[in-house]
Amino acid sequence: MTADIVAAFPKVTLLKNESLSTYTNTKTGGKADFLAFPNSISEIQALVRYANETDLPITIIGNASNLIVKDGGIRGLVLILTEMKQVKVQSNQVVADAGASLIEVTKVAQHASLSGLEFAAGIPGSVGGAIFMNAGAYGGEISMVAESVQVLTPAGELKTMTKRDLHFSYRHSQVQDERDVVLNATFSLHGGDGQQIQAEMDDFNARRAAKQPLELPSCGSVFKRPTGYFAGKLIHDAGLQGYQFGGAQVSTKHAGFIVNVAHATASDYLAVIHHVQEVVLASEGVHLETEVRIIGEDPVRS
Ligand SMILES: Cc1cc2nc3c(=O)[nH]c(=O)nc-3n(C[C@H](O)[C@H](O)[C@H](O)COP(=O)(O)OP(=O)(O)OC[C@H]3O[C@@H](n4cnc5c(N)ncnc54)[C@H](O)[C@@H]3O)c2cc1C
């Protein structure tokens, strides 16, 4: 019955055996059995209902900027929400669809002279991914501006979650535990000076460009900040900058990033991650926990 999913949704772009390396920011990753690009909440609801009825596992992807999809790919149905990207200003709030780019949302806010989202000017995720991860930078994080979020529960029900319900903490929100699909988010901002907001965003972006290897594929900071330390400094001090396995390399520009320098596979990324974790634990005594989400299946060995 699952093979009929393409026929069941003639209006949805639905690809079979599609390589996810086309979509991930690292340019790595195996194939999705089925990859859908829903355009509306009702399409997501219908796809989730179909998947539940046919026992197809569901995976949600936003901009795939914090993701490693293993080389064996993802079984079942993968939804990429980037076709849902409306952003609206309502008084001092910005309401954005889950698939909207967070960078686009910061531009809309600036244009409306609304302050509060400047910190996110260079975070290359979607709104849904930013809520899921409680994305943050330069002293700001999504929890400071997220007012409420509309989600679809795994059972297929629509629900509104307030900031309180989302239980934000460092790179974590309740959405991760509930396995909800974020559909849209409302950000509460305050009136400011458009030029000043722009200047602050430019400053953050310049700092980012100076320190981060933005010219190469990556998944951002691979590891969470361990309490009392900086992951990048620990990796640098352990002498790991430039360490390479296959095509994946600990960035020589920012030790917290792993960049794709030569047609890396997801397995190359995972090998570098494990090596870094082992060496930093042995030499610095600190366990580095991954911030990047690692999903999918290991490749079948022949
Ligand atoms: C160059 C670079 C710089 C970065 N800088 C920062 C930074 O400064 N601060 C920071 O916090 N992060 C940073 N990141 C990481 C990343 O951009 C953020 O974590 C972002 O919030 C991830 O959003 P995404 O849409 O790409 O999520 P994805 O990578 O697509 O997914 C991440 C997780 O969120 C889940 N998810 C995505 N959308 C939804 C949804 N609608 N509903 C439910 N679950 C969903 C996925 O299942 C997955 O588990 C950076 C990444 C790069 C490549």
Point out the ligand 1 atom lying closest to the alpha carbon of residue 293.
49
Checking DSSP bridges between strand 293-295 and strand 67-69, what pairing results, if any?
parallel
| Helix H or strand E segment including 249 | strand 248-250
> Is the Cβ atom of 64 under 6 angstroms away from ligand 1?
yes
| For ligand 1, atom 47: residue with the closest CA | 60
Long-range contacts of 224-228 (CB under 8 A, 24+ apart): 224/170, 224/171, 224/288, 224/289, 224/290, 224/291, 225/170, 226/286, 226/287, 226/288, 226/289
Ligand 1 touching residue 63 (CB < 6 A): yes
Query: How many helical (H) and strand (E) elements, i.e. helices and strands, does the chain have?
Result: 9, 18
Q: Pinpoint the residues of the chain covered by CATH 3.90.78.10.
A: 231-295
pLDDT at 223 over 70: yes
Task: Return residue ranges of the chain for CATH 3.30.465.10.
Answer: 87-211
Q: Kindly state the percentage of the chain with pLDDT values over 70.
A: 99
**Ligand 1, atom 19, residue with closest C-alpha:** 66
Would the CB of 219 count as within 6 Å of ligand 1? Answer: yes
Average pLDDT over residues 262-271: 98
Q: 2-80 belongs to which CATH class? A: alpha beta
Question: Apex CA 53: angle with CA 48 and CA 54, to 5°?
Answer: 100
CB atoms < 10 A from the CB of 101, how many? Answer: 22
Decide whether any atom of ligand 1 lies within 6 Å of the 25 Cβ: yes
User: Ligand 1 pocket: which of 41, 61, 215 to mutate (most atoms <8 Å of CB)?
Assistant: 61
Which helix (H) or strand (E) element contains residue 266?
Answer: helix 266-284
Span 139-155, pLDDT tens digits: 999 999 999 999 999 99
pLDDT at residue 108 greater than cutoff 90 = yes
pLDDT in tens, 115-134: 999 999 999 999 999 999 99
Q: Where in the sequence of the chain do the CATH 3.30.43.10 domains occur?
A: 2-80
Coil vs helix vs strand at 25: coil
CATH topology of domain 231-295: 3.90.78
pLDDT attached to residue 301:
79
Cα distances (Å, whole numbers) of residue 107 to 110, 113, 115, 231: 5, 10, 11, 30
Give me the architecture of the 87-211 domain, per CATH.
2-Layer Sandwich (3.30)
